[in-house]
Amino acid sequence: MFAFRLSVAGETGVIRDPVLAAAFVETVCQCLSVGMRIWFLPARHFFKPEAVLCRPVRKLKPLMNIFLRVNMIQKFTAGFAIMAVIISLRVAAGAPAATNSPFADRLGSGTVLCLSYEKCLAMALSQNHRRPASRFAVAMAEAQHRQALAGYWPQIAGKAGYQRLDEAPDFLFPARQIQTPAGTAVITVPAGVLGPNAVSLPVSTPAQTTAVPAQDVKVMDPDSFVGSVNVTWLLYDGGMRQGLREQTAGLVEMMKQESRRTDLEITDSVKRFYYGAVLAGRLHKIGQDALERMEATLGLTETMYKEGSGTVKKTDWLDNKVMVESLRSMVALLEKNEAMARSALANTMGLSWNSSVQPAEKELPYHPFKGDLDALVADSYQFNPDWNQVEAGIRSAEGAVRAARSGYYPKVALTGELHRWWNHYSAGLATDANKEGWTVGAGVEIPLFSGFLTKNKVAETKARVAQIKEEQILLQEGIGLQIKDAFLGLIAAQKSYQATLDAMNAATESRDLNTRAYENDLVETEKVIRAQLMEALMEAQHDKASYDNLALQSQLDLLVGTAVLEQIGGRPMAGTAASERNN
């Protein structure tokens, strides 16, 4: 009689009813389907399987209660192994795409690419739509910085205009009388007029009054053209321009760090999704291999119960049949998850929704981590984009303090103007001297009282600087804790890798021995099925440990901020921090 044993929370149950066993496997498949939806999380969030593990566990509780009410007498770790597979399949959902399978035949005519990790990363850095958005933010900040620098240059403006008056302006010179007083004058008569010699004669003039009438004088023609060039040069502003320059320079640095963070997140997403697609393919293959072995065992069980000695009964064959068909449904889900994993990878690379990327690698690489926690934390304070953003924010806020303080000081400016006036009239005001000329001057603006406006502006900017510095302390501790969490996770993943490797080898050997013994009617059907399932579960758990090692190293590179692969002309300019540390 076939019995399926489950061990949960220290209690062991035996599932002897094939219907209950089938229901259990179906529930596990549903949990796997729920877990695969984790890949829809935004790329900037770290993929943490433990964050969603509680949901399928709650779904399993009703069935577990049924199992635990049965006679529970034996211990078996298959339950733990199945839960490990649930976790591993969740991690596989960190990525998604199309596959060579019946699914692929119905997925339409989308593009399918077979690419290596390096090519996927290069394509993502060139096609992902998040990068242009961050680059435009940098361009805007740089334009604002250049606007602040414009204040150091003289401001030159030209003006030109045409003016038409309704009539020519005039000047009315009023009528007046000119009084000439009486007087005596000596007139010299030249020689030859009154005699041979010149003669001086006194002449007396009476007082006279001369009337001058009013005069209407034209000033200029009604049509005028005017042109001028004005120059203003701010010589001293009390530090206002320097403060604005520091603010905008800090903003430029902040946007550059944000752009760099985008590159880091894209690199992290591509790595996790790429190897998540590899893991999804591995799990699909493990499921297919397990199904083929179970089908072979089912055929052998049918032969033995029909033609054997009677130790194998039809109930054993039926139990085996239930497990085979349940496993077949699970493989279908794994096939779907593999297709979605490859599609998600294509989406991260900036491809269309109907595109799919098949990873060139078929196995998950394993690179032991050899970094030092203190060195990693120290490096993060140099390379982490969040930390550098805060540093730039402090410099920008200090520039705002300087700009606010400039309100206490006077401002000195030099001004000048060159003008030209065109008018057809040449008299009145329209003389050559008045039609062109220039002026030069200097001005001073001294703040006397503004209702304590400047004082409160300075207080506000100082408070902002103090606030950012306090937040920097919180960020410093937060970065350290995040790196420590990832570092400890890597250590645990490496230990798990070796342990699952040993367990997988032992499970493979156990399956081989039990299969040969079953062919000779030396073991029960239950042991053969259990050995085959355990081998598949241990292989899946070992692949999950390999993926955890890769994902945690990628997360650590993202936190430290050193994993940017800049592609210039297709040539990598910098490698990842993990590879440098491993070397």
pLDDT in tens, 486-527: 999 999 999 999 999 999 999 999 988 988 888 887 888 788
- Which amino acid makes up residue 520? N
* Predicted confidence band of residue 38 (pLDDT cuts 50, 70, 90): very low
Closest Cα to residue 566, out of 276, 262, 350? 262
Percent of the chain with pLDDT over 70: 77
pLDDT at 461 > cutoff 90: yes
* Predicted confidence band of residue 248 (pLDDT cuts 50, 70, 90): very high
Q: What integer pLDDT is reported at residue 141 of this predicted model?
A: 93
* Predicted confidence band of residue 152 (pLDDT cuts 50, 70, 90): very high
Q: What is the DSSP letter of 174?
A: P
Locate 244 and state its tokens: 């604005």
Locate 96 and state its tokens: 């998604």
pLDDT in tens, 347-394: 989 888 888 899 999 999 998 888 788 888 888 888 889 999 999 999
* Predicted confidence band of residue 309 (pLDDT cuts 50, 70, 90): low
pLDDT at 576 > cutoff 80: no
DSSP H helices, 37-172, are 54-68, 78-92, 102-105, 117-127, 130-149
Give kind and range of the element (H or E) at residue 184: strand 183-189
Q: What integer pLDDT is reported at residue 253 of this predicted model?
A: 93
Q: What integer pLDDT is reported at residue 249 of this predicted model?
A: 94
512 Cβ contact partners less than 8 Å away, ≥ 6 residues apart: none
Q: How far apart are CA 284 and CA 336, in angstroms?
A: 9
Q: What integer pLDDT is reported at residue 26 of this predicted model?
A: 44
How many other CB atoms are there within 10 angstroms of residue 192's CB atom?
9
Window from 89-103, 293-307, 334-348, 458-472 with minimum mean pLDDT: 89-103
Q: What integer pLDDT is reported at residue 545 of this predicted model?
A: 93
Q: How far apart are CA 69 and CA 504, in angstroms?
A: 32
The CATH architecture assigned to 4-148+242-397+454-582 reads Up-down Bundle (1.20)
Q: What is the DSSP letter of 175?
A: P
Give kind and range of the element (H or E) at residue 547: helix 525-560
| Average pLDDT of the segment spanning 152-159 | 94
Token look-up 């062991």 returns 12
pLDDT at 251 > cutoff 90: yes
**Is the Cβ–Cβ distance between 331 and 291 less than 8 Å?**
yes
Window from 185-194, 242-251, 323-332, 438-447 with minimum mean pLDDT: 185-194
- Give the largest Cα separation in the chain, rounded: 185
pLDDT at 48 > cutoff 50: no
pLDDT in tens, 160-203: 999 999 998 888 888 888 888 877 877 787 877 777 788 787 77
Show me where the domains of the chain are located: 4-148+242-397+454-582
Residue 351 vs residues 92, 338, 357: alpha-carbon distances, Å: 20, 18, 9
- Is pLDDT larger for residue 93 or for residue 165? 165
Taking each helix axis from N to C terminus, what angle separates 78-92 and 18-36, rounded to the nearest 10 degrees?
30
Q: What integer pLDDT is reported at residue 562 of this predicted model?
A: 65
| Average pLDDT of the segment spanning 68-83 | 32
Q: What integer pLDDT is reported at residue 177 of this predicted model?
A: 83
Window from 50-59, 253-262, 354-363, 530-539 with minimum mean pLDDT: 50-59
pLDDT in tens, 437-449: 999 999 999 999 9
Q: What integer pLDDT is reported at residue 293 of this predicted model?
A: 86
Q: What integer pLDDT is reported at residue 8 of this predicted model?
A: 35
Q: What integer pLDDT is reported at residue 224 of this predicted model?
A: 92
Window from 216-220, 335-339, 544-548 with minimum mean pLDDT: 216-220
Locate 345 and state its tokens: 């990878």
* Predicted confidence band of residue 310 (pLDDT cuts 50, 70, 90): low
